[in-house]
Structures are given as structure tokens and as C-alpha cells.
Structure 1
């Protein structure tokens, strides 16, 4: 068999269309950008197909032609120049690589740009136009994405992270490449079937019923050789686009009827459990009271709706204000996004004491700014944490201690950051010199990605709904483009006339 030539690249972010923070080219560079051939050996979430592809192609003796890899931490719309620039950069690299036997991409699936509500579909359609109908085109996706008809028409198949938190992005990239290898060896013929569940929900796999659902998908894949991959597209409720919602994907070995039956059966199972997937949540006052009454520590409070991983600024102060009002001590907050405050702390220097106003600058429903006397405890010019194999930057960053009017320590520490990032891992705190074992309460900005890393060290985890910086109620969110015939906007979207 002649050696194959495969092109790979990545273009990814998650767009909260309600967020006021525009993503430009600089935002991609700050979060993650690798020129062709410069991707590190470790995988970075949506760019995992590139380093994983190196291993698979080396084992086969195939040539892997690497294009650009770009990831921006979630925010609002991607600027038109940033979108078109990254897209055309990858397309030009593909043209220069021709002829190729396959195109393997790392995408997120929830990008929305100025003037384009489906950048991934646009990219895939242009890739298909360049390579023609007979070249294999596939991609790995994040489940918090929009499975548009344009994408399905352009690609041969998708493989999607199964876990939320997304601990399996390398495993799913390996699944993607196994199917690529088997297809190019003519051992399988992937056929993709999809099913529209007509719903909007949140599906953490750290609890039932989604834990069991994912386990069943993996069991079917393991036991039925005709099934190459099963995936649930959760949807991304902060993306106000026409094709937003939950969908199922079944990739089979040439058996479209089996794929359609599986996708519908599993999709209907998701729909039957609608409203039962989301973790129970507390108000800020309830979460603080429960944490302060605890007898084992640390207690983790997850500020789930001020999650930079969902496109918010990450500067809400609602939980912090509630803790301050109750006189809580032994508290570490990670993080509050405030580049201006970090600059002021940097100018003051470690050990410096000053009055500081920080937080709640980005948007309504984020609380009120905090005015406090603070001491600068630590400054890190390039702070970063880990997420699985990935390195996630969040600096320059400062750790401050809140003081009372007499300059005494109140027992509350806050990490201020300049690069928005959700709270993935305890290394967020240790990178800034926080002694986790000495804390009673840790406050995180994350919906569920924190769970895998924090569950082993937390005495208790409390999910907190504090304000509404994120559009978190799909029944009442002020959508303009989301279709009306979708649960919970209607009770039964499958009913006649719904």
C-alpha cells in the first residue's frame, strides 16, 4: 500500500453570543496558537488530533502535513478578520499540501463569528470543495457544539468528546484516528447518521443519568463491530444560532439503517430524561451558609454561571460578597478576571498594601465591584494551570489578601487574572502560592470541568447559581435565532403541530 498523505489543522473556540467580549486574533495567540509543525507533543483540548495524528502516522509510515492550530478561550463573537484570517490560513496550507488522502481537523463546534453563524460548517464546506468528494474529511468536536446540516453534508464523520468534564479529548482523538486508518486501509466504510433530539439541556457525566448513558454508548461500541463511534452533541445554550440543540451521532461501518436506528433510540433516551441531567444548584446565600456550617474541608463552591469556559468574563463578585458579608475565613477565590487590578497590584509589588476596586466590570448581573484594602501576596507574570495534558495560561496574575479597616487579615484571598480561563485544576491555586490544605472554602469559576481534578481533594462540592452573567435558562433566554419548536421552549416538540 502506497504511503498516505494526510493534512491536519485546528481552529476552535466556543462562542457565547450574549457575551460582550469580542475574540480577535490576539485572543487566539494568548490562549493557544501553533504554526505548522510547531504544535507541542502534548494535546490541547480541541487540537488533540494533531499530536495524536503524529503517533498514528508514524506507526503507519504515512506523511502528516500539519497546518495551523488555534484555540481561544470562550468569549463572545469572533471578529470577522480573525475568523477569515485563520480560516484562509488553513485553506491555503491545505491547497499547498495537495494531493492528500484525508483531512483530519480539530474543531470545537460552537464558534460564531461576525457575519458567519457557522464558521466550522463554512470551513468544512470549503475543505470539501478543495479536496473533492472522494477524499476522507473528518473532525473531532466538543459536545457543547452545534451540529449543523452544512457540517454533516461536508464531513464523512465526526467523533465527539463523551465526557463532561472533557477528560477524554485524547481518547476520542485516538478513536478518530483509528477510524481514519481503518478507512484508508479499506477495512471499514464509515457512514454517519444523526438524530435531532429537539431539546436544550446540560449533561454532566459525573452524575446520573448521563454517566450511565455514556457507559452504554461505550458498551455498544465495544460489543458491536458494525458501530464505529457513538456521540452525543449536548448543544451550547449560550449560542443563539438556528441549529442549536442536542443531537445524536452514530458512525457505522456502511450500515446507514443501523446508524439511524441507534441515533434515534439513544436520542429519544436523552429526551426522555430531559430536565434530570443538570446537577442541583444552590443560591449564593445557601451555598455560603452550607460551606460555613461544614465540619470537613475544603468545601468547593462552584460559581457555575460565571464560567469563562462558557464565554463569560469570570469577574462576578456575587459569591465573594456573600462570603464577606458572613465573615467567612479560610477562603481562596480562583479567579476574578480584572487586568486593570492586576496592573495596579504589579505596580504596588509583593507586600504592598493599597485600597483596590476590583471585579464586576464586564456586564450586568455580575454583582458590584469590591472596594477593599488589600495586601499583594504574590505576583506571577505567566501563571498557568493544567487540564489533563494541557497547559492553560491565566496570567499575568496576582494573589491578594483582603484586609479590614485596621489592616488586619480577614482570611479571604483572591486570585486576579488577566487571561480569562475557567478553574480546571488545583494547580490554579498552587501556581499562586495558595496552601490548599489550609483553606476551608475554595471558590471556582466553572460549570463542571473542575470536577475530575477537585473531587479527590474536596470534602464537599456545592454547585452555586449566583446571578445570571450566563444565559442559563433556555426556557426564558432572550434568543432571537434559536428555533421555537425545542424543549423547554415548548413542552413537547415531537407533538403534532409543535
Structure 2
């Protein structure tokens, strides 16, 4: 890990002095290395690509350091130099040329911005590109080479990521979202900037300690025991002297990379030994609860049984493993086929990714009744395409839904209807963050008996407010959700659950 930044002078870094110059940029996606959907530049542009100074006022999941940085630097009277901001919805490997082009854009912008007092980045942490197992480590190392050893380099990241030795060596500290669903990405960006400002003013000297929990798991904070664990982290941050930040790096089990796994990160005010001891204590506590975090899941038959038996709606069925937020296509039809076979009606499905079907619907127009085949085109074990005579109820260009303080695009979209079932087809893959994905097309989600959505847990914060019941359904095998059975080629085999006891 690099040394803490050297202060240029007390005057240069005093509040209100525009001589303080901070560079910020973002480059992020989450890579499911088992996904067949490649990511190119067009995929970034479909989700977010903003040139320097053109980022909208509303942040996306991994670009909050830019929007929050505007507020903080305006308050301090400092100069913020913005680089490019790029985000692609999770999928498979990023094309080598695309990663290198976006990386080199940011590095070129940083060189033009020199001299700077700090670099504050928005990253995801689970990107994998052709030829690069650790793009974030590559990017941060190149940033460090440009600015030298004494300039502050820090980043906010998604906890569903890989914390590698290379990126830890290049940065002074990291702050990760604490919540899953990630409702706190703006709050954590403020935490990141608070530590950065205090560092530049000479008030703290951040040191990062990392503990390897030797496991991989799924950690929703919407239920116990992870809810209580995260509450404990926040309480320690508030009460423990010299503890600046605590984070759990959940890891990302669909990323087949050498350093995949769960880590505990403690950032202290120049108290490395204290940070290491605290990270280990918390990390071992987390390990002791392994296998108890994820909500129980049922198969598609049981899920439909529950929905049909309910006396009121909406019953939300979450297709947890066909989650575009985890890099799958979002076009599996296993649960929908079960609903159809059982004669279910008063059902709304949001969404099924099928750009070709959307294109056909747009060509036919609203009100048209057409034969349509849709879904289950991306990969094996996602069901079979659905063939129906459908009525096109609505069409919307560039549709988007809410996600906390942000908006998530799901592309050109079509609302189709058949046999008492409404389906939203989308052209840009996106998980089901919020009921506004239905209302964006004109469907009132609260008026339906059953809502079928695609998300592992990000849906919970918003959908739980309208749901009479939530059913987590594991259907098909679009996502490698059983690490002990997954055919990893690069990932470690010495962590739980690949081995029963990784400590011996």
C-alpha cells in the first residue's frame, strides 16, 4: 500500500483555495465471466457514457463520486476536474479494445489535469476484460504511475467485487457500499469524500487493512444476520476512535478470477495494527455465519402455488438467478411458462429481454395483434421461447425506472398482452429495481395479483412497499449460483464452500 499523501502546504489545501485540484472519473461494469453476452463500447453508451463535465446531476450506481464531488468541492472552494464516466449493465467479458479505449481516455484526461492533489474514482470492482483479469487493478496502477507515490488515490466500489492485491497496493483507501440492495451508494460516496477532504487538510492519515475471509457467499442486508452485521459496522465507525471506514467486500461468485472471495476492509487513521485486528475479528465473525445469509428459495412450481393461493396481491415472484444485475440476459421463461401452464391470470412480468421482439412490436405499432416468439434465446437452461398471439398495448422509447436517487434505463420497451398476462419486453438489459418499470409503460403494478420480476435482492427496498408477499424463486440455471459445483478455471479452490474448512 502506498504512503499517505504529502500535504503541499497548509495554505494550498486550506478551505476556499481553488489551488486544490482533484480529478474524478468513473469506469464500471460487473462481469459474469460465464455469461455469453459480450460487452463493447455500444453497451457502455446504452447505459451511461458521459464525457468530461457532461455527467447528469443524478448519479448512477458507480458514478456517485462525481456528483457528490461537485457538491463537496463547491463547499470547500476547490477545483474539481471531471474525466469520463462510463457504466455498462452487467454481462460477460468486456472487449479488450473497449476497456483499453475507455481506460486510456481517463488516463489521458488525468495527464492533462496535472498537477492534482487527489484522484477520486468511481469503480465497480468486478470488471473482467479479454486479457485482463483485474482491469481495476490495471487502471489504478496506471493512475498511481502518473501521479506518483505522494498523491491521494481512492475509490468507491460495489461490494460485489474482487479486492486484489494489485489494486490495494495502488490506492490509499477504498469505501464500499454497505447495503444490499445498494440503496446507500450516495451515502458511501459522501463517506469517501469526507475521508479524502480530511486527508488533504492533514486531519487524518488513512491506512487500509484487509482480511481474507476465505469464503464466498451472498449477503443481503434486508434480513438477518447481515442486517445486524452491517449495523455493527456502522456503530463501530461512529464509536471506535481512529476507525474511518469498515466495509465487507462480498465478492462476486460469477467472476472466475484468481482472487475471487469475501474480504473485510478496515480504514483507520494511521492505526494499521488496530485495523488489521479489527478486520480479522469481524471477518472471522462473518465466516462463522457462512451459509445463513441468503433467503430461502423455492422452485417455479412452488412459487406459482404460493401466488395462486394468495388471497390478495400483488404477490412478487423474484426470479433471483436470471438477474441481469448479475450478468445474465434476463430472458429466461421458466417461471412464466409455469404460470401459463397453470392458467394464471392477472399477471404482470417485468421484464424479458428480447431486442428483436421489441423491434417487431415497434414495427407493428400499438394496438396491433401479432404472432410473437419471445424470450429464452441467450443460453441453455433458461427455458423455451414463448409463442403467443399478443396484443401490443404500449411502446416506449428509452424507458427507464427509478433506483434510489438514480434512474436505470431499460431501453426501448414494449408492453404486450395475452391470456390475462402482461409482459414488458425490453431492449437494454436491466434488473427489476423498482415498480416504476411497470408504470413507465402504463401498467399499475399495485392492481395486479402477481408480479414476476428479475432480481436477486435489489428489488426488495421498493417492491416490499407494495407486495402482499415476496417469493424468492430459483428456476433454471442461468447463473452459477452454487460455487462448490461451478466449473471455475481460475478462481481459488481453497475457500468455503469449495472446501469445508479453508483454515487448515
Structural mapping, 1:262-341, within 5 Å: 262-341=278-357
One of 229, 233, 239 as aligned partner of 2:255 = 239
One of 469, 490, 502 as aligned partner of 1:481 = 490
Q: CA deviation at 1:295?
A: 1.0
Alpha-carbon deviations, 1:476-498, whole Å to 9, x = none?
01100011101000001002xxx
Q: CA deviation at 1:389?
A: 1.5
One of 425, 450, 453 as aligned partner of 1:416 = 425
Which residue is 2:501 aligned to? Answer: 492
Secondary structure at 1:10 match in 2: strand
One of 451, 463, 478 as aligned partner of 1:442 = 451
Q: CA deviation at 1:436?
A: 1.6
Q: CA deviation at 1:338?
A: 0.4
One of 192, 210, 218 as aligned partner of 2:226 = 210
Q: CA deviation at 1:437?
A: 2.3
One of 184, 206, 223 as aligned partner of 2:239 = 223
Alpha-carbon deviations, 1:74-122, whole Å to 9, x = none?
0000001110000000000000000100000000000000000100000
Q: CA deviation at 1:296?
A: 2.1
Structural mapping, 1:461-480, within 5 Å: 461-480=470-489
Q: CA deviation at 1:43?
A: 1.4
Distance 2:179 2:492 in 1: 27
One of 398, 406, 411 as aligned partner of 1:382 = 398
Q: CA deviation at 1:293?
A: 0.3
Distance 2:142 2:237 in 1: 31
Alpha-carbon deviations, 1:4-34, whole Å to 9, x = none?
1100000000000000111000100100111
Secondary structure at 1:106 match in 2: strand
Q: CA deviation at 1:456?
A: 0.7
Which residue is 1:117 aligned to? Answer: 133
Which residue is 2:359 aligned to? Answer: 343
Distance 1:274 1:84 in 2: 37
Q: Does 1:451 align with 2:467?
A: no
Q: Does 1:67 align with 2:83?
A: yes
Q: CA deviation at 1:460?
A: 0.5
Q: TM-score normalised to the size of structure 1?
A: 0.97
Alpha-carbon deviations, 1:16-61, whole Å to 9, x = none?
0000111000100100111000111111110000010011111111
Distance 1:369 1:44 in 2: 32
Which residue is 1:406 aligned to? Answer: none
Distance 1:392 1:33 in 2: 13
Secondary structure at 2:411 match in 1: coil
Q: CA deviation at 1:395?
A: 1.9
Distance 2:404 2:384 in 1: 34
Structural mapping, 1:42-121, within 5 Å: 42-121=58-137
One of 460, 469, 478 as aligned partner of 2:469 = 460
- Range with greater deviation from structure 2 (434-443 or 137-146): 434-443
Secondary structure at 1:472 match in 2: coil
Q: CA deviation at 1:348?
A: 1.1
Q: CA deviation at 1:224?
A: 1.5
Distance 1:185 1:288 in 2: 58
Query: Structure 1: which 5+ residue stretches go unaligned?
Result: 403-409
Secondary structure at 1:320 match in 2: helix
Distance 1:28 1:344 in 2: 24
One of 370, 374, 377 as aligned partner of 1:354 = 370
**Structure 1 stretches (4+) deviating beyond 3 angstroms?**
none
Query: Structure 2: which 5+ residue stretches go unaligned?
Result: 1-10
Q: CA deviation at 1:370?
A: 0.4
Alpha-carbon deviations, 1:146-187, whole Å to 9, x = none?
000001000000000000000000000000000000000000
Q: TM-score normalised to the size of structure 2?
A: 0.96
Distance 2:39 2:502 in 1: 34
